[in-house]
Structures are given as C-alpha cells and as structure tokens.
Amino acid sequence: MEHGSFTDNSVATFSLTDEDHTIANAVRFTLNQDPRVTFCGYSISHPLEARVNIRVETTGGPAREVLKDACQNLMLMCRHVRCTFDKAVEDFKASNAVKAMKIDSQDSSGDDSEESE
Amino acid sequence: MAEGAGEEKKKFSIWDLPDVPVGQLPPHLELQRSRVSCNKDAPIHTESIQYSGAYASMGIDNSSRLDRFSNNFRVEVVRLNEDDMEFDMIGIDAAIANSFRRILIAELPTMAIEKVLIANNTSIIQDEVLAHRLGLVPIRVDPRLFDYLSENDQPNEKNTVVFKLHVQCKRGSPRITVKSDALKWLPNGSELVKETRNATSDSSSKPETYTYFGCSQETIPEFVKNPIIPKYPDIIIAKLGPGQEIELEAHAVKGIGKTHAKWSPVATAWYRMLPEVVLLEDIEDDLAEELKSKCPVNVFDIEDLGKGRRRATVARPRACTLCRECISGDDWEKRVALRRVKDHFIFTIESTGALPPEVLFTEAVKILEDKCERVITELS
C-alpha cells in the first residue's frame, strides 16, 4: 500500500507485507540505479512483523511508476541471470562429457575425476 | 591534482590535461568504486556506489542500463557434482547476490516429515525427540510435483508422502541401530485406521485412515522407476535395546525454510568476493622467501630471475582466505595489497539431495522474479 500525498505524487512510502530484506534490498539497488530517483531507502520497523517500508522520492514523475519500473528491471535482470546460468551449466556439462570421453579413449581404466580446475 | 570539472575561473579545463582519461574514472577512484581494500585493521570502501548520479561531475554515468548489465554479466561454472556446485558470477551487485543466497536458504520449497503418528514407542528415545529427528531426515523427492497442504485441506496423494517405520528388537538379540533406510514408503497412503464413533457404520466400505489417497502414488510417472526414499540410508534415527519396539507413520509435506529449517533444500549456500592480491613493489630474495612461507594457503610463488636472484609472484589469488598473515609484520602493508573485487562472486551451493544444485539456483531466481511480479501487481 502506498502512503503519499494527494497533491504531490513524486514522493511516497510503499508498505509491502510478507516481505523482508530479500526483495527490499534488491529493489532498493535497482531504484538507486534509476536516474529519476533522488532518494530511496527501505526500513523494517520491527523484525517480528513481516512488513517493509520502501521510500521513493523522484525528480518529478510519479513514485509508483518509478517503483514499478525498478521491479520490471529487476525481473529482466533475473531472467538474464537465469539464461546465462543455464547456458554456462550446459557448456560445462558438455565440456566435461567431452573430457570424459577423451580420457576414456586414452586409457582403458576410466579416470574418475571430472572436476575442472 | 584537482578533481571535478574545470571551473570558469581557471584558465584551463581539467580535461585538457593529457593523462586524465575522459569517460573513465581516474585509477584511484576506480579502485575505490570496484575494490574493497582489506587493510590490517579493517576493510575500507566496502559499500557499493549505487547512486546513479554518483560520478556525475566526472562525466560518468553510473546509472545502470539493462544492456550494459547484459553485456558485462558472466557466469563461469568451476565445479558441478551431484550434490554441490561452485560457480562464479561476474558483473552483479552484492544486493542481488545476497537475495539469491537468502532465497536458496529460506524460500525454496522441499518435502520434509511434519506429522508423526506414533502407534508404539517403547524405546528410550522420547516421542517428540524421535519426531524431531525424523523431520530432519532429507527425502529424495522433487518438491515441484507436490502442492502445499494448508489447514483446511485433506491430506491426499497430491500433497502428502507417507512413510512407515516398524522396528523391533527381540529379547535375547543384541541392540540394534535404527537407520533411515528403515523408513518404508507407502504409496497408497496411510494404513493407520481412524477410530470412528459409530461402530455400526457400514463395514463393507474401506476403513477411514488418516489420509485420503485417491490413487496410488506409484501410478504417477515420475515415481514408477524411482521410489521415494530418504536421500541418505545411513542416518541414525534411534537405538533399540532388547524388547523395545517403534511403530509409527510419518507424513511428509511441502514447506519452506522460513517456517522450519528442516525444509531448507541446501545444507548451506554461501558466496565470497574474489580476492585480489597485488604486490606493490618488487619483492626479491630473502623477502620473497619470507612472504612465500608466511601464506598458509600458498598464494605466492617464487620465480627465478637468473643470476641467483628470485622474485615473488602471486600464483593462486583465488585460494586466499584473507588471513592477513602476509601484511602482518612491519612494513609488509607497503609491499602487499589485499583487495576484493566487488562485483565478482564465488558462489557455493551444497544441496541436501532433493534437487540438484543447478536446479536449485534456477528455482531461486524464478522465485525472485515471482516476488517482483507480486509487488508490481500490488502496485497496479
């Protein structure tokens, strides 16, 4: 939920329930990177209550849109991380399979170590 | 040397000086921005400069653009076994890496034993201690095939896995140790019959048990060839003396590590930043020998320069554990600089066995994406 003012929508505090540092720190990082943001931060008022308050102040645009864009950016970053990671794992498995085949064909006793250095 | 853009009052602009790189930060600021300097007493420059306008006066755009991130981000897998993996993530920030680590530990679902129905326990292990130990046994089953069991739901084949444990130590035989391979999977659900009030109910229908399985779990294609068993068959659950018996049924449900650590899919997951060891001046002969012997993980090596002179080189900076032995004596701080690269993370994931570690990481990233989506829908 958003706590802001009706007249000025460029500054607001967003209160997210059932969230903690996991999403708040990541969103704060992407918010900071946005050039439209003049101030951003998050606080957890009490550790036993799962509620995070994210404060956003912008150079003029509506704070809600800026926060939405930051979350979108974070989602796109995550997707890219996932793609790159999957590709790297596949390449690693493929290169290990090739190595295992080469070692097997070189000497009859198969070498067990498949770890690359 | 004056920092910042040239002012009108000066007769020349700083950008006219030949050695100031335009569009890049000068080397000392680049060091501050991208490296943590680990000094003898404490590390400095630990915070990451995230603010988009941080270096605006130097003409550098510190704001992130997705294309720059996409170009610079790399993943390199170092080790990938069945249960653990080590990989490098280069070009990401600590906030996101920490989010992944937190999700891996606390928010990835797993199956673990939650309800234990004890029919008979004459061993010296108390009921609750036995139930607690059973909950911590890792089970080799893919949690994505199951749904969560909430309070109003009935336990059925889609949200519960039932195990049975019936061990007895006969009188006259030696003491036995109950290991986790004694847990037998019951694909047809619970066998303990619930006591119903009306004994005159139709005895032709099946007696009511504690679970309501519609069909046998063995018919689900994933479990046809792989029965559900604990991952490690040699975990000691209890010990029985002669004449003692344990008979119980354990129901495993899906949960996340936040509720209880038994539902955490990783033994642990951690990351560290890539260490960088730099020799600030040439270290020769005796000093080189001294440096090499100081390091407990053999980061340094000696190379021969010919004519009997030797020089120290940094051979394995990645092995550095930051014990700071190499900067401990007098004057060593001027010769060796210990640093960490702020955007290069060495991630290690050790899985308890339910899912392989690369799947765990992919699921963790998916969960972060879901959280973002939830925030976006809440805002709109």
Neighbours of B348 (CB within 10 A): 17
Out of B47-51, B91-95, B184-188, pick the least confident.
B47-51
pLDDT for the residue B163 = 94
Asked if residue A66 is part of any domain, the answer here is yes
Would the pLDDT of B63 be above 70?
no
**Distance from the B273 Cα atom to the nearest Cα atom in chain A, whole angstroms:** 18
Please check the confidence at residue A61 and state whether its pLDDT lies above 70.
yes
Lowest mean pLDDT across B106-115, B213-222, B247-256, B354-363 = B213-222
Which residue, among A65, A81, A115, A116, would best test binding to B if mutated, counting the most B CBs under 10 Å from its CB?
A81
The span from the CA of B86 to the CA of B358, in Å, is 10
Verify whether the Cβ–Cβ distance A29 to B371 is below 8 Å.
Answer: no
Full domain range(s) for residue A23: 11-100
In a domain? residue A83: yes
Rounded alpha-carbon distances, angstroms, from residue B148 to A43, A116, B81, B145 = 31, 39, 29, 10
Q: Do B95 and A76 touch (CB under 8 A)?
A: no
User: For residue B129, what pLDDT band results from cuts at 50, 70 and 90?
Assistant: very high
User: How far apart are the C-alpha atoms of B366 and B329, rounded to whole Å?
Assistant: 48
CB contact under 8 A, B77 and A80: no
Instruction: Give domain limits for chain B.
Output: 31-108+264-379, 110-195+207-263
Residue B87 predicted with pLDDT over 90: yes
- Spatial contact of B5 and B13, defined as CB atoms under 8 Å apart: yes
Residues 86-115 of A with CB under 8 A from B: 86-89, 91-93, 96, 115
CB-CB neighbors (< 8 A) of A72 in chain B: 372, 376
Assess whether pLDDT exceeds 70 at residue B47. Answer: yes
pLDDT (tens digit, 9 = 90+) per residue, A38-47?
999 999 999 9
Distance from CA of B364 to the nearest CA of A (A): 10
Tell me which chain B residue has its CA closest to the CA of residue A91. B77
Mean pLDDT of B182-207: 76
The pLDDT tens digits of the residues spanning A1-48 come to: 888 888 888 899 999 999 999 999 999 999 988 888 899 999 999 999
Give how many domains chain A has, as a whole number: 1
Point out which residues pair with B51 in neighbouring strands. Answer: none
Mean pLDDT of B174-199: 86
Using the Cβ of A35 and the Cβ atoms of chain B, whether some distance falls under 8 Å is answered with: yes
Confirm whether A94 is domain-assigned: yes
Give the 3-state secondary structure of residue B78. Answer: strand
Cross-chain Cβ contact A28/B95 below 8 Å:
yes
d(Cα B273, Cα B276) in Å, to the nearest integer?
9
pTM value surpassing 0.80 = yes
- Has residue B219 got a pLDDT over 90? no
A33–B50 C-beta distance less than 8 A: yes
Residue in A19, A28, A29 to test binding to B, most B beta-carbons within 10 Å: A29
The predicted structure's pLDDT at residue B16: 62
Residue type, B106: A
Residues of B in contact with A115 (CB under 8 A): 79, 81
The reported pLDDT for the residue numbered B6 is 43
Nearest CA distance, A110 vs chain B (angstrom): 17
- What is the Rg, in whole angstroms, of the alpha carbon atoms belonging to chain A? 23
The reply to whether A72 touches chain B by the CB within 8 Å rule is yes
**pLDDT (tens digit per residue) in B328-367:** 877 888 888 888 998 899 999 999 989 999 999 999 999 9
**What distances in angstroms separate CA B247 from CA B127, B161, B164, B208, one per listed residue?**
11, 17, 8, 19
Residue at B71: amino acid letter: N
Distance CA B282, CA B336 (A): 10
pLDDT category, A115, cuts 50, 70, 90?
Answer: very low
Q: How far is A25 from chain B (nearest CA, A)?
A: 6
Report yes or no on A57 lying in a domain: yes
Q: What share of chain B is helix, strand, coil (3-state, %, to 5)?
A: 25, 30, 45
Q: What is the pLDDT of residue A109?
A: 52
Query: In this complex, do A33 and B64 lie within 8 Å of one another by their Cβ atoms?
Result: yes
Confidence of residue A110 (pLDDT cuts 50, 70, 90): very low
Identify the pLDDT of residue A113.
46
Please give the average per-residue pLDDT across B269-289, as a whole number. 87
Of residues B223 and B58, which shows the higher confidence score?
B223
Instruction: Count A/B contacts: CB-CB distance under 8 Å.
Output: 123
**CATH number of the domain within which A44 lies:** 3.30.1360.10
Q: Could you tell me how many helices (H) and strands (E) chain B has, helices first?
A: 8, 16
Residue in B339, B109, B122, B135 with CA at minimum distance from that of residue B241 = B122
Task: Report the pLDDT value the prediction gives residue B197, as an integer from 0 to 100.
Answer: 64
* Long-range Cβ pairs for the range B2-9 (8 Å, 24+): B3/B58, B4/B57, B4/B58, B5/B57, B5/B58, B5/B59
User: What's the mean pLDDT in B93-113?
Assistant: 93
- Strand partners for B306: B309
Of all helices (H) and strands (E), which one includes residue A38?
strand A37-43
Q: Encoding tokens for residue B257?
A: 């590590």
Task: Please tell me the distance from the alpha carbon of residue B301 to that of residue B289, in angstroms, as a whole number.
Answer: 9
Residue B110's DSSP bridge partners are B255
Name the fold adopted by B110-195+207-263.
Answer: RNA Polymerase Alpha Subunit; Chain A, domain 2 (2.170.120)
Instruction: For B378, name the nearest residue in chain A, comparing CA atoms only.
Output: A1
Please check whether residue A78 touches B, CB under 8 A: yes
CATH number of B31-108+264-379: 3.30.1360.10
How are the residues of chain A apportioned to helix, strand and coil, as percentages rounded to the nearest 5?
50, 20, 30
Question: Mean pLDDT in chain B?
Answer: 85
CB–CB of B107 and A22 under 8 A?
Answer: yes
From A32, A78, A80, residue closest to B50, measured CB to CB: A32
Q: Where are the beta strands (DSSP E) in B261-334?
A: 266-279, 300-306, 309-314
On the question of pLDDT at A55 being above 70, the answer is yes
**The two structure tokens encoding residue B363:** 């699921």
Mutate to test the interface with A, among B33, B88, B92, B368 (most CBs of A within 10 A): B368
Smallest CA–CA distance, residue B196 to chain A, in Å, is: 40
- Of B328, B329, B169, B189, residue with least CA distance to B252: B189
Q: Do domains B31-108+264-379 and B110-195+207-263 have the same CATH topology?
A: no
